[in-house]
Structure 1
């Protein structure tokens, strides 16, 4: 039997792998044996953290709608039971609910079986404690235990089938009731028409169990039924086809709002009544406006690719502070937690991908909670004769924006990417380019009106051998001007495939 490379399963702060047979070029590595060893590794890690033997732990297990979910759930539960754990089997569940169950029902930990927006044939494990999701170093420790085939002492656990999603839906409904504070407390969304696109993931509950009981008209909602093959579109708010799907559905239904979730509902996006996207910078702007209510002068932590116009909006329109940080949802969350611990009032950590974590909600990235806050804001604005569009009147958006993804062909992709960034910094200084002062990831360079009227950011991907290049300009033709100038440097870089740049300029 070939030795397993356990490091291959690490994906930032999650575990991911191939779980479904029969896909050309994709060999299953998330086998039952591998899953059991990783679940046992989590138990050892959790025992160390809590100071409890595995036989005294209570752990919840849930999954999204993927076709491999039942098989992997069985492997996880078997591993937990054989260590004497009390297991709460939640079945189909959102990832955020699997954190909330640790707080609400006093579980020591939980495991969500999901691969987020990845293709149907992939799956993975996401771990929680009452303090939130794990960090990358924790995943390293779990995988080290799995590599050594270490497991807790044998025990005889007990499994209970539970319905936590009903309780989680109740929490969201109560949040809306209190936030809207309408005359009809039980039906505060009466008169609102909201379309939900769940992409056949785990998010269909939001339409049927949260919005409809509160009086909302959910007609026109689509793909609410779980289907792990995702036959209609990728459940991903960053995907253009997915956003176009919910946009058209919202327009067809003449709804007040359309919302969309990724597979496991830790990310969300929205479109307004006109079908305009509340996504990426616009979503960050809306979330920032909501988070800064009652937190005047507070700090918003975002990832590195947010626009210059967003920074102006947060600081000039909202009166807050913008702290641009690294890509990766755990990166922005951990940075927000660090700032709060240092006494900085930081109510929100958010990525342009749709991961949004509010301090009031345990800094949990929860797409359903974010959408809930947006719906509350929409209802309050309507009472004032306004709508969500008026909230964004102060947001200056770029005239042009694009992203090019440059593959790294060198065997040591991280060393190559770091060398490219270091070289670009020297090149920028030599040519008098303006390097951003709040540069915390890769290198961000700004150009004046005559040379592109905007900025680019070149960085190394969090997980993959790719260097994403984001470019925005406030003038027509500005993106091309900046890419042309950068291209001269990229021609000197070894181990980097710059054909996407050449194609853009062709």
Structure 2
């Protein structure tokens, strides 16, 4: 039975369960198809760089993918274990297309592939991924074997180069001593944090779950879920730490906890990093998606920057980064994008900015962060619906007297500074609600008013 690749090759990446949806045969076909598509698009640099996370299935899938690439006559630089942003560093610094084998925060039975062009530019549905899917599907259907590998294979350790590059961007040599609890969630933060932060003399790192284990024995490596932050919050308070950092499975996202054990919202981190980037690059553009806090564009303007609002999703942020030459971009999901990092996302660099800001200040993080928190947010609330567009139309009609736009779902703005965004999921029968207001009471009232219609 041929696997239907449309089930696992989505808008931005490949993701499926191993081995029924993603196995060596599929990975080999995708490797061949990637090489052929690069050639067709004029993106062939002669080599492709690959890395994988700590999942047990990673090495075998990479080996098969590598065979496919080499069968098409291209060389492979194999970086071994890595975080997703380490792979982006490789693709950027070496100017090569790349393939990162990871399923990010998905459960243990999953794996996946994030593909990029040279310079860490994203490969998505509209920029090559559809061709790769169709080519690989045809190869699987025909059952033709992979041609013998004529491309060369080179193993290269890129971890120290990655760490050095990040320290050039955010030097931490002069900060005050800080105690930092880091929850790696048994993901790739356990590999990259010792190399990047473990070498900073001012930092005392208290490690949580640094053992690389793709079965995630302690908790899911998804810090967006509050339940997965509980251990970190407790440890920060117990150790009297200055802050806590939580990374997801492939360590491209980072969440921040203050000394009281409270989460610092990704919007506040976005605003904090934005002010630091604007101090270095006055008047620059900062990207934020439409469900980050209103505080972000306000603070960007106050610091002389130009805020640009985008749809939710990394492909939209990266496209806007390229269009505007933006110096930085942030999302509510704790993805942070830097022009100095090939406009790709890196949680580690965002974490280093927070450490630098805290280490240069005498204030605790709760006080430092408070200036970037101006509103009360609902967080993302999902509702299962039978007909998303009908419910959206109902909400639109209900708030017809208010300012509205449909950049991504429906956004409604109110005169008191409150707003709501309701957008359909791309993959499930869900509507996602985000609401924000100047007070908790107003936010709750607005949230409940919308949910009464949706549910």
Q: TM-score, normalised by structure 1?
A: 0.81
**Is the partner of 1:459 in helix, strand or coil?**
strand
> 1:150-299, aligned counterparts within 5 Å?
155-176=149-170, 179-180=171-172, 182=174, 191-299=177-285
482 and 64 in structure 1: CA distance in 2 versus 1, 3 angstrom threshold: same
Tell me, yes or no, if the aligned pair for 2:182 and 2:207 is still in contact at 8 Å.
yes
Matched, 1:392 2:369: yes
Task: Say yes or no: does 1:15 pair with 2:14.
Answer: yes
Query: Residues of 2 paired with 1:366 and 1:120: CA distance?
Result: 23
The structure-2 alpha-carbon separation of the partners of 1:487 and 1:467, relative to structure 1 and needing over 3 Å to count, comes to: closer
Asked if the contact 2:289–2:311 (Cα under 8 Å) also holds between the matched residues in 1, the reply is yes
Q: How far, CA to CA, are the matches of 2:440 and 2:355 in structure 1? A: 35
Is this contact kept in 2: 1:35–1:72, CA < 8 A? Answer: yes
Q: Residue 347 of structure 1 corresponds to which residue in structure 2?
A: 327
Residues 33-62 of structure 1, C-alpha deviation per residue, up to 9 Å, x if partnerless? Answer: 12211121111111223465xxx7212221
What are the within-5 Å matches in structure 2 for residues 127-146 of structure 1? 127-131=115-119, 132-137=121-126, 138-146=128-136
How far apart are the structure 2 equivalents of 1:95 and 1:396?
29
Give SS of 2:199's match. helix
Partner of 1:466: 430
Task: Map residues 67-146 of structure 1 onto 2, 5 A cutoff.
Answer: 67-106=56-95, 108-131=96-119, 132-137=121-126, 138-146=128-136
- Range with greater deviation from structure 2 (480-489 or 440-449): 480-489
Given candidates 135, 145, 149, the residue that maps to 2:139 is 149
Segment of structure 1 superposing worse, 481-490 or 68-77: 481-490
The one-character-per-residue Cα deviations of 1:275-327 (angstroms, maximum 9, x if unpaired) are 332332222222222222133343321112122334333334x3433322211
| CA–CA separation in structure 2 for the residues paired with 1:203 and 1:400 | 28
Cα distance change of structure 1 residues 41 and 181 upon mapping to structure 2, 3 Å threshold: same
Q: Does 1:446 align with 2:410?
A: no
**For this pair of structures, how many residues does the alignment match?**
449
Taking the aligned partners of 2:271 and 2:188, their CA distance within structure 1 comes to 26
Do 2:54 and 2:81's aligned partners in 1 also have CA atoms closer than 8 Å? Answer: yes
| Greater relative CO, 1 or 2 (CA 8 Å, sep 6+) | 2
SS in 2 for 1:241: helix
Cα distance change on mapping 1:421 and 1:34 into 2, 3 Å: same
* Rounded Cα–Cα distance in structure 2 between residues aligned with 1:109 and 1:15: 16
Rg larger in structure: 1
Counterparts of 2:451 and 2:196, CA distance in 1: 50
